Amino acid sequence: MRRLARLAAALLGVAAVTLTAACDSGAPAIDLSNSGPPVDTTVNFPAGSTMQRLHDAQKITIGTKFDQPLFGLKNPVTGRPEGFDAEMGKLVAARLGIPANRIEWVETVSANREPFLQQGRVDAVIATYTINDKRKEIINFAGPYYIAGQSLMVRHGNPAEIAGPDDLSGKNVCAVEGSASSTNMRNRVPGAHVVLFDSYSKCAEALKNGQVVAMTTDNTILGGLRSLDEDAFDLVPGTFTQEPYGIGIAKGREDLVRFIDDALRSAFADGAWTTAWDRTAGRILGAAPAPPDVESY
Ligand code: GLU
């Protein structure tokens, strides 16, 4: 119950941070939960395609994180996720001719992303989701739409003096089940005791409580969590992997992968991608980098 209360406080905190940031930058405070890029009204898809089916239904189901500030964080008032991943979802929906309020958002944690796609519970997963060969054996990816890197977060003041992953041998480090971060950490530092939770907000709690000396995942996620609680955490400088974020799609829907790849390419070119970044992750993580090259399917 106390954890729930703290999480609720953190969620309200991020809403306050977002509003303050909006005021500080002079940008209008936009309701990110429902706004989206202009919906394409001139769509024309091949008969029988996945795109035609989604468009005709006027609905797309997207899996994302609900507890990751900057990328996918559920707004406690609207119940809808906000962040860069949510904006990518709206961008894809808009190009399918589906408005943002017709997206059905489903919470995915790291470990259930592939199963949710395979079971058809979601049409796409946009959830700080690294494209890798193991995952590509069972699902497809559009993208990448961003390249993150794995890093470490420690308690404020860094009492265990962790300067990089190799200092974690013999120590407790938190990671999330089913994440590339947990596999990378085990491979890189076999002597580390990797403590697994199902979500990053729970890892942050364990770090705060001193149950682990560090938590490890992408710099993007760590930066977002720290922005909620700057007095509690420090980021260890540097990254030690490359994590290209893709949009997960079930096997057999290669038409949708190609469509999303094209949608990303045009969003990179027309500024929609940069706008999405600036309104979300960019407020804490800084200016948008150059967009990555989309891998052709
Ligand atoms: N990008 C990594 C992954 O896809 C870590 C972040 C996450 O678990 O969502 O596994």
Identical fold, 50-147+244-283 and 148-242: yes
Q: At what angle do helices 254-270 and 50-57 cross, to 10 degrees?
A: 80
Query: Taking the mean position of all CA atoms in its chain, how far away is CA 11?
Result: 16
What was the pLDDT predicted at 31?
54
Domain ranges of the chain: 50-147+244-283, 148-242
- Ligand 1 midpoint to CA 94 (Å): 25
Ligand 1 pocket, residue 243 CB under 6 Å: yes
Q: What is the mean pLDDT of residues 81-98?
A: 97
Looking at the DSSP bridge assignments, the partners of residue 116 are none
Structure-token pair, residue 65? 């994180």
DSSP string, 101-166: GGEEEEE--GGGHHHHHHTTS-SEE-SS-B--HHHHTTEEEEEEEEEE-EEEEEETT-TT---SGG
Computed from CA positions of residues 112, 115, 121, 126, in that sequence, does the dihedral angle turn out positive or negative? Answer: positive
- Ligand 1 midpoint to CA 149 (Å): 10
Examine the pLDDT at 17 and tell me if it is beyond 50: no
Report the largest interatomic distance among the alpha carbons of the chain, rounded to a whole angstrom. Answer: 61
- Ligand 1 midpoint to CA 47 (Å): 35
- Residue 148 CA: nearest ligand 1 atom is 1
Ligand 1 pocket, residue 110 CB under 6 Å: yes
Residue nearest (by alpha carbon) to ligand 1 atom 9 = 128
What was the pLDDT predicted at 295?
87
Mutate to test the pocket of ligand 1, among 65, 150, 176, 179 (most ligand atoms within 8 A of CB): 179
> Residue 297: how many CB atoms within 10 A of its CB?
13
Q: Which tens digits make up the pLDDT trace of 185-208?
A: 999 999 999 999 999 999 999 999
Superfamily (CATH H level) for 148-242 = Periplasmic binding protein-like II (3.40.190.10)
Q: Which carries the bigger pLDDT value, residue 28 or residue 235?
A: 235
Ligand 1 pocket, residue 60 CB under 6 Å: no
- Ligand 1 midpoint to CA 131 (Å): 9
Ligand 1 pocket, residue 67 CB under 6 Å: no
- The rounded distance, in Å, linking the Cα atoms of 135 and 143 is 14
> Residue 87: how many CB atoms within 10 A of its CB?
28
Computed from CA positions of residues 55, 59, 62, 66, in that sequence, does the dihedral angle turn out positive or negative? Answer: positive
Ligand 1 pocket, residue 128 CB under 6 Å: yes
- Residue 245 CA: nearest ligand 1 atom is 1
Could you give the percent of the chain with pLDDT greater than 70? 88
Q: In terms of Cα–Cα distance, which of 102, 55, 94, 133 is closest to 273?
A: 94
Band the pLDDT of 36: cuts 50, 70, 90: confident
- The rounded distance, in Å, linking the Cα atoms of 296 and 97 is 23
Examine the pLDDT at 33 and tell me if it is beyond 70: no
Examine the pLDDT at 18 and tell me if it is beyond 80: no
Q: What is the mean pLDDT of residues 111-129?
A: 98
Examine the pLDDT at 62 and tell me if it is beyond 80: yes
Band the pLDDT of 270: cuts 50, 70, 90: very high
What was the pLDDT predicted at 210?
95
Superfamily (CATH H level) for 50-147+244-283 = Periplasmic binding protein-like II (3.40.190.10)
Within 164-289, where are the H helices?
180-188, 200-208, 219-228, 254-270, 272-279, 282-285
- Residue 217 CA: nearest ligand 1 atom is 5
- Ligand 1 midpoint to CA 150 (Å): 9
Residue that the structure tokens 């991943």 belong to = 85
Examine the pLDDT at 290 and tell me if it is beyond 90: yes
Parallel/antiparallel/unpaired status of strands 172-176 and 103-107: unpaired
Q: What is the mean pLDDT of residues 132-141?
A: 97
For all residues of the chain together, what is the average pLDDT?
A: 90
What was the pLDDT predicted at 37?
85
Could you give the percent of the chain with pLDDT greater than 90? 84
Ligand 1 pocket, residue 179 CB under 6 Å: yes
Q: Which tens digits make up the pLDDT trace of 213-243?
A: 999 999 999 999 999 999 999 999 999 999 9
Q: Is 120 exposed, middle or buried (0-12, 13-18, 19+ CB in 10 A)?
A: exposed
- The rounded distance, in Å, linking the Cα atoms of 39 and 90 is 9
Q: Could you tell me the pTM of the whole model?
A: 0.89
- Residue 130 CA: nearest ligand 1 atom is 4
- The rounded distance, in Å, linking the Cα atoms of 3 and 11 is 12
Q: What is the mean pLDDT of residues 37-43?
A: 89
Band the pLDDT of 297: cuts 50, 70, 90: low
Ligand 1 pocket, residue 114 CB under 6 Å: no
Q: In terms of Cα–Cα distance, which of 29, 93, 3, 23 is closest to 55?
A: 93
Ligand 1 pocket, residue 130 CB under 6 Å: yes
- The rounded distance, in Å, linking the Cα atoms of 194 and 175 is 7
